[in-house]
Structure 1
Amino acid sequence: MSNLKVVVTDYEYSTLKYEEEVLAQIGVSLVPAQCKTEEELIEACKDADGLLNQYAQLTPRVIQALDRCKVIGRYGVGINTVDLAAATEKGICVVNVPDYCMDEVSDHAMALLLACVRKTVLMNNEVKKGNWDYKVSVPVYRLRGKNLGLISFGRIAQTLAKKAQAFGLNLLVFDPYIPDAVAEQFGVKKVSLEELLQTSDFISVHAPLNAETEHLLGEKEFKMMKKSAFIINTGRGPVIDEEALVKALQEGWIAGAGLDVLEIEPVRSESPLLKMDNVILNPHVAWYSEEAGTDLQIKAAQGVAEVLQGYYPRNLVNKEIKGKVNLKERP
């Protein structure tokens, strides 16, 4: 196996020592690259046995040029940088890290929710301007007994549900793809999107970005929400129609927002959101902790290593590839 190599298409980590350690154990070399264009990707990766990918777009043209590649490992949960259909057709396994930053993102969602409800950022800013007056925060309502609506109920939202229940929140979930048994297991109520919007005091968005979810929340949806409701987004920015959100905030359809992700990142300097006291903005940082970053690098490399050792990986994304490639199940 000593002639095998894995190319890192692009990365923003300070070190790749974790990937190197994982792959060195099976005699595979790691080749770092910083590709931005299709041409750079094709040149760097055409003879790679495996890829590790962060942000570079692995288009059908790039994937078609991969002559030896058996596996693409994605740094993260989402695989929006990889053309999954092209990879499957080419016989390439795609792996991700589905349990990446579950605690970090759920903690961050809860932090944004609490900051919105208790108006801590607003009061901090007022105090620093010399205004020692709690009345700038009026009204603040008790958290316990209120309804938190979760849009999508994957691993991160499930982790958040447990934390939110400790605060005495009732949990509503819109996710047509989860079985009733999962909702029962976590003590949440499955509802339609319309019911969630109409009855939730707070809404936390966790939906992946795809054709079905892009602009899932627009003017129609914001008008359904309570005027006292806050919306939190630590998922994907384009799930919310940002123009509609701005209008909803300006016209008082909803009370405020805590946003870690935006439709266009970084935030535009002319964005009205920057001037709104009822909006908290973070720079797409909910995923971050030192431990989460290390875990991600190790687990992405482990997924690649599993395939290069001849096994179906534990975190195989394109499961339809099973039986079409020469791999075996792990013992």
Structure 2
Amino acid sequence: MTARVVMTNTAIPLAAEAEEAFAGLDVGFEMLDAGSPEDLVRITRDADAVITLAEPFTREVLVQLPRCRSVTRFGIGVDNVDLAAATAQGIWVTNVPDANYREVAVHTIALALSVTRKIGFLNRSMHETGHASLALARGTRRPDEQTFGLVGLGRIGRRVATMAQAIGYRVIAADPFTTEESGVELVSFDEVVARSDILSLHVPLTGETRDLVDAGVIERMRDGAVLINVSRGGLVDDAALGRALRAGKLAGAGIDAYVGEPAPLPESSPLRGLEQVLLTPHSAHYSEESFAEIKTKALADVARVLRGERPAYPVNEIPVTESR
């Protein structure tokens, strides 16, 4: 019986790569858009495996997929998949955690340097007038005199730490799951918030981390500090961040993730229009190399599951003998 594999978003071309990945298997591959949970169920109800960009595989959706063996996230974060429900259904959940961590780390440093060195202000003035007063750069400081704080010291956080140290920053980090000696001073979350000149977020979005940086946390940050978020939009209370930026409590922010992706950042966003905020469209992960690697690894794990094998990048645990 032909196995049916569905990519639930047509924004990323995968047909050629899928043909290569599924060579030798009896697989039919389709790319379809799901505009609603009802659409998602309709196009995946008889799928043996699905690949998702950001579509919500909730419990209500998953229980209606009797043939599904795996849900593969095209990227790192799996906050759009109900892991407990998938596990209960005997469905593998996989991601690609190691294809773009270098790109995300570079983007983190690029945002931090661009905000702290006032690149946006200087660039705009040069384009508009051909000149930029050094007054626009007021507040710029040497990295050697600043503390770069990380919330999360996983693969991306460690890479950022190495790069920040090479530039000259003092690096501290809060991560309750890390005890290894990494050359980074490990501190509590409250301490990293209080001590950091640049506070950078590198944690997944979960029930525990949603609105991790709220009004109370922002109030405890150093006056004139900068916030960087390249992880998930739900980690930050954007309204509280906007108020702090307008009031001058914080000097700026670099934001690559926002609530509601992949829909456009709405005009009502409290961050749009603020000159001290650099906004990018969740592009931190992207390079030609990382994109190709994600495609290859995501499809390879789908093929492994269809062959009855354990995936290379499981997020949950399903006994192979019980996977369908």
TM range (shorter): over 0.9
Cα contact 2:69–2:323 (8 A) shared by 1: no
Query: What count of residue pairs does the alignment treat as equivalent?
Result: 321
**How is 1:114-193 mapped onto 2 (pairs within 5 angstroms)?**
114-130=113-129, 131-178=131-178, 180-181=179-180, 184=181, 186-193=182-189
In 2, Cα distance between equivalents of 1:15 and 1:48? 17
**Structure 1 runs of 4+ with >6 Å offset:** none
The 10-residue stretch of structure 1 (17-26 or 100-109) with the greater mean CA deviation from structure 2: 17-26
Question: Which of 266, 279, 282 is the aligned partner of 2:280?
Answer: 282
* 1:119-144 CA-partner distances (Å, limit 9, x unpaired): 11110111122143222211211012
Q: 1:322 and 2:323 equivalent?
A: no
- 5+ residue gaps, structure 1, are none
Residue of structure 2 equivalent to 1:194: 190
Cα contact 1:240–1:263 (8 A) shared by 2: no
Residue of structure 1 equivalent to 2:291: 293
Does the C-alpha gap of structure 1 residues 304 and 258 become closer, same or farther in structure 2, counting only changes over 3 Å? Answer: same
Cα contact 1:18–1:294 (8 A) shared by 2: no
Cα contact 1:117–1:143 (8 A) shared by 2: no
Aligned-pair CA distance for 1:201:
1.2
* 1:278-318 CA-partner distances (Å, limit 9, x unpaired): 22122221122222222111111111111111211121111
Aligned-pair CA distance for 1:272:
4.5
SS in 2 for 1:121: helix
> Normalized against structure 2, the TM-score is what?
0.92
Cα contact 2:238–2:271 (8 A) shared by 1: no
Residue of structure 1 equivalent to 2:95: 96
Aligned-pair CA distance for 1:24:
2.1
Aligned-pair CA distance for 1:145:
4.3
In 2, Cα distance between equivalents of 1:326 and 1:232? 40
In 1, Cα distance between equivalents of 2:26 and 2:163? 42
Cα contact 1:23–1:29 (8 A) shared by 2: no
SS in 2 for 1:76: coil
Aligned-pair CA distance for 1:95:
0.9
The 10-residue stretch of structure 1 (146-155 or 265-274) with the greater mean CA deviation from structure 2: 265-274
Cα contact 2:309–2:320 (8 A) shared by 1: no
* 1:52-83 CA-partner distances (Å, limit 9, x unpaired): 12222222232222222211211111112222
In 2, Cα distance between equivalents of 1:326 and 1:79? 20
Aligned-pair CA distance for 1:256:
1.2
Does the C-alpha gap of structure 1 residues 279 and 326 become closer, same or farther in structure 2, counting only changes over 3 Å? Answer: closer
SS in 1 for 2:227: strand
* 1:63-118 CA-partner distances (Å, limit 9, x unpaired): 22222221121111111222212211111111111113111111111000110121
In 2, Cα distance between equivalents of 1:31 and 1:261? 28
Aligned-pair CA distance for 1:15:
4.2
Aligned-pair CA distance for 1:264:
4.9
In 2, Cα distance between equivalents of 1:258 and 1:47? 42
The 10-residue stretch of structure 1 (298-307 or 53-62) with the greater mean CA deviation from structure 2: 53-62
In 2, Cα distance between equivalents of 1:81 and 1:249? 30
In 2, Cα distance between equivalents of 1:43 and 1:101? 32
**How is 1:62-101 mapped onto 2 (pairs within 5 angstroms)?**
62-101=61-100
Cα contact 1:229–1:255 (8 A) shared by 2: yes
Cα contact 2:308–2:320 (8 A) shared by 1: no
Aligned-pair CA distance for 1:228:
2.6
* 1:166-205 CA-partner distances (Å, limit 9, x unpaired): 1021211111122x12xx1x21111111111111111111
Residue of structure 1 equivalent to 2:202: 206
Does the C-alpha gap of structure 1 residues 25 and 156 become closer, same or farther in structure 2, counting only changes over 3 Å? Answer: farther
**How is 1:253-268 mapped onto 2 (pairs within 5 angstroms)?**
253-264=249-260, 266-268=264-266
In 2, Cα distance between equivalents of 1:326 and 1:237? 33
